[in-house]
A and B are shown apart, each in its own frame.
Chain A
Amino acid sequence: MTKTIIKVENLFKQYGGQDVLKGISLTVNEGETVVIIGPSGTGKSTLLRCINLLTKADRGRIWLDDREITLPGVDEDEVRSHIGMVFQDFLLFNHLTALGNVMIGLTKVLGMSHDKAKSKAMAELARVGLADNADQYPGQLSGGQKQRVAIARALAMDPRVILFDEPTSALDPELIGEVLEVMRKLAYDGMTMVVVTHEMGFAREVADRIVFIEKGSVVEEGPPVDLFYRPKVERTREFLWKLTELYGKHERKQADGN
């Protein structure tokens, strides 16, 4: 039986009188890659932020590993240390080297010794192909490298799940590939991932499930083949193919390059 890592039940969130989430439910199983798609402003990022408690939902419940994390009195910092998060704009700590960025959670949150943290951090940097850049500061890295460091920073905490909030949207087209490649590898290594993205190629190839969200509700969800080729809702087909058309260009270019 597959183990459920994240369970979201009937989540509601309002911002300034505007309904952002209107009763979203979602289950993410161990080792699964769930891709969330939808037009901008439909609450995808809000959903991710609610899951790792950076934003407080108005109503609804969330479980991490069978433990309800929306209950009062839950140690939110401890919960967050088990949920990795990768942001659109990287948000690396500017005053720390790549290595320092990956290490600081280990030393200051998990209380690991400097030496142990360093060797673990080096291993994570190697995993994203950046062992040679360990001593560089964020200001000295390209966007793609920054995002890979951010992934290594999340990985170092040995999270139960990593949430990706449009991880390639702030990148130049030629740098997107290296980040997606790292994510693809993670997915195949069995990392549990929830990915908000417009990269349809990635979604089709890597996702176990695609969840289409619009106006704060789940419109349809299922395996990529079903959503792309046999969608139950016409709106799903429309949106997916529009995105594929929009974002397909550089995908094709990348395919030609390989």
Chain B
Amino acid sequence: MLFEIVKFILGGTAVTLGVTSVALPIGFVLGLLFSLARVYGGQLLSRFAALYSVVMRGVPPIVLLFILYFIIAGTVQLPPFLAGSLSLGIISSAYQLEIFRGAVLSVGSGQVMAARAIGMSRLKAIRYIVLPQALRLAIPPWSNEASTVLKDSSLVYALGVPEILRRAQFMSASTYRPFLAFGIAAAIYFLLTFFTNRLLDLVEYRTRIPAN
């Protein structure tokens, strides 16, 4: 019986991981582009990125998820899994924007000036000098965002995607053992988050710049 319940809920792990591994990279790419627009873009781009960030971070993820989901579902034919993941990625991009903006700013304008002084264009300076440093600085806060997205992937439950939470709820209702069902879901989320963070700690350690 217990084994059956665990097995059923565990079956949602692949979906949860799937949602996360679609949403995080989308958030990464969009967030990084928006952060560069925010810091290096002209007035127009910079303001747009700032507005995007304020609005997206000012609305609860679940509300945004519904709005984005219905926009996306109304425009293109996408299964709920993809539409939901895409929406979560867009939501995450606003938070990742701020992470990368902070990292880019702490690299400092001196590094860009030195790069320009040897003849690099702005784009090259950003690509070869700023980003390699900024991405390293961004790992700890990004690790935090990764666990947020992992946990927020449970929101797609509201769209009917059979991830861990939805399966736990199903089990809770059919076996009348809510504590067990949700406890198992919690344990799975915890383990996923824990190992994601460990993995990113390792990445941080491996890419650390030597200093005395």
Q: Which residues of A contact B (CB under 8 A)?
A: 52, 54, 77-78, 80-85, 87, 89, 91-95, 104-105, 108-109, 136-140, 153-154, 157
Residues of B within 8 Å of A153, CB to CB, are 118
For window 198-212 of B, CB contacts with A under 8 Å fall at 209-212
Starting from the known contacts A81-B118, A95-B133, A137-B209, 12 additional A-B residue pairs (CB-CB under 8 Å) come to A54-B117, A87-B110, A91-B110, A93-B111, A93-B133, A94-B133, A104-B128, A105-B120, A109-B118, A137-B211, A138-B211, A139-B209
Name A142's closest neighbour in chain B (CB-CB).
Answer: B212
Total A-B pairs, Cβ < 8 A? 74
Residues of B within 8 Å of A109, CB to CB, are 118-120, 124
Q: Are B116 and A80 in contact (CB under 8 A)?
A: yes
Of the listed residues A82, A104, A108, the one surrounded by the most CB atoms of chain B closer than 10 A to its CB is: A108
Name B113's closest neighbour in chain A (CB-CB).
Answer: A54
| Chain A CB within 8 A of B14 CB | no
Q: Are A157 and B118 in contact (CB under 8 A)?
A: yes
Distance of A53 from chain B, by nearest CB (Å): 9
Residues of B within 8 Å of A84, CB to CB, are 117-118
Q: Are A93 and B117 in contact (CB under 8 A)?
A: no
| Chain A CB within 8 A of B78 CB | no
Name B110's closest neighbour in chain A (CB-CB).
Answer: A91
Q: Are B121 and A85 in contact (CB under 8 A)?
A: no
6 chain-A/chain-B pairs, Cβ below 8 angstroms: A85-B117, A89-B110, A92-B114, A108-B124, A140-B210, A157-B119
Q: Are B211 and A91 in contact (CB under 8 A)?
A: no
Q: Are A77 and B117 in contact (CB under 8 A)?
A: no
Distance of A106 from chain B, by nearest CB (Å): 9
Q: Are B110 and A139 in contact (CB under 8 A)?
A: no
| Chain A CB within 8 A of B115 CB | yes
For window 146-163 of B, CB contacts with A under 8 Å fall at none
Q: Are A95 and B114 in contact (CB under 8 A)?
A: no
Name A106's closest neighbour in chain B (CB-CB).
Answer: B118
10 pairs of A and B residues whose beta carbons are closest in the complex: A139-B211, A81-B119, A91-B114, A105-B118, A85-B117, A109-B119, A80-B119, A91-B110, A137-B210, A95-B132
| Chain A CB within 8 A of B22 CB | no
Residues of B within 8 Å of A140, CB to CB, are 210-212
Residues of A within 8 Å of B57, CB to CB, are none
Q: Are B212 and A108 in contact (CB under 8 A)?
A: no
Q: Are A87 and B120 in contact (CB under 8 A)?
A: no
- A82 vs B118: C-alpha distance when bound (angstroms): 8
Residues of B within 8 Å of A104, CB to CB, are 118, 128-129
Distance of B211 from chain A, by nearest CB (Å): 3
Q: Are B211 and A80 in contact (CB under 8 A)?
A: no
Q: Are A105 and B116 in contact (CB under 8 A)?
A: no
